[in-house]
Amino acid sequence: MMSDNASNPAICPHLSELIALRARVQAWPPPLRARAGLNGLASSPFRGRGMEFAETRMYTRGDDVRHVDWRVTARTGKLHTKVFHAERERMTLLIADTSPGLFFATRGCYKSVQAARAAAMVAWAAQRSGDRIGILRGSLSEPPLVPSAGVRGVLRVLDAAARWYAQPPADDAGLAAAFTAAARLLRPGARVIALLEAHALLAVADAQLAGLAAHHEVLVVLLTDPIETAPPPIVVPVQVGDVCARLNLTVAAERARWQRSFAGTLSTARARLGRYGIRSDVLATTDAAESLLPLLLADVR
């Protein structure tokens, strides 16, 4: 395990590095925009009529009859229709796992640093797509960072990620609390991206996963370390509470059992997410953070 050193960017995320990751997102080809008089497939900055209610007014010829406000019509005796705001900004919300297990690595960088880099990739990709971006963690004392648009919104998210992943927060309340907070904040049609360890997902109830997947686009990034999926033949000191032991991974049977344990947790988590139609991807501590871009900017042509 790496020694603790706040000046080491592999151990403690640096805000300057998270800001600099914008260049990697911008390096992707710009999305095509729909223009009048042009035919063919292109992504549009407008996402169609949103479901956010604006007002009720008198019905006029040409209004969609599906939007008639029957309660007001019955009360006034005159035909009224509902008006909705056009949705031009999608909400992208990051759910950050800040449990102590993320502050660990054997190669590459700490899982916590990789989570911060992944958060930066998500935030810059969301800003590029015109989304509002926010972030939250399981905490009983720190409220969620409400999604906001533009570079300023991204910088607020990066500052939070850099703080949370500098060291384990003392008030971490777990992923279940984070998912509960997300359900209160989100509106239908939002995009939710969770950064977490596979075993931490055990704390999240099936009802929470199903509820999010029913109303939102959900992506889960599972953070891993190479020793979990491909352990080397070494002797590993282990401490559980006050009990210290040595795990002999030079023995093939022990190494295989270790690998089955971690790989099984990972595959079980992905299968569970898949049952609810939730996409998942694995990000190891040795991977480049920009490997997430194909998922985050899948509509870019």
pLDDT in tens, 48-57: 444 556 678 8
Query: What is the model's pLDDT at position 1?
Result: 45
Q: For 79-108, what is the mean pLDDT?
A: 85
pLDDT of residue 229: 81
In the chain, the domains with their CATH numbers are: 51-86 (no CATH), 88-227+276-296 (3.40.50.410)
268-289 pLDDT, tens digit per residue, is 999 999 999 999 999 999 999 9
Q: How far apart are CA 166 and CA 135, in angstroms?
A: 16
Q: Rounded distance, CA 235 to CA 254, Å?
A: 11
Higher pLDDT among residues 259 and 167, named by residue: 167
How many Cα atoms sit within 13 Å of 234 on the Cβ side?
Answer: 9
Residues 83-97 pLDDT 10s: 765 555 789 999 999
pLDDT band (50, 70, 90) for residue 158: very high
User: pTM for this structure?
Assistant: 0.77
Angle between helices 111-128 and 150-164 (to 10 degrees): 170
- What is residue 299's three-state secondary structure? coil
Q: How far apart are CA 201 and CA 127, in angstroms?
A: 27
Average pLDDT of every residue of the chain:
86
Angle at 95 between CA 280 and CA 268, to 5 degrees: 35
- Give the integer Cα–Cα distance in Å for 279 and 276: 9
Give per-residue pLDDT as tens, 122-152: 999 999 999 999 999 999 899 999 999 999 9
Is 80 exceeded by the pLDDT of residue 118? yes
* Phi and psi at residue 278, to the nearest 5°: -95, 125
Q: What is the pLDDT of residue 301?
A: 47
pLDDT at 30: 54
Mean pLDDT of the region 153-160: 97
| 178-193 mean pLDDT | 93
The pLDDT score that the predictor gives to residue 300 is: 52
User: In whole angstroms, what is the distance from residue 182 CA to residue 165 CA?
Assistant: 19
d(CA 72, CA 61): 18
pLDDT tops 90 at residue 290: yes
Q: How sure is the predictor about 41, in pLDDT bands with cuts at 50, 70 and 90?
A: very low
Closest C-alpha among 204, 82, 191, 70 to residue 133: 191
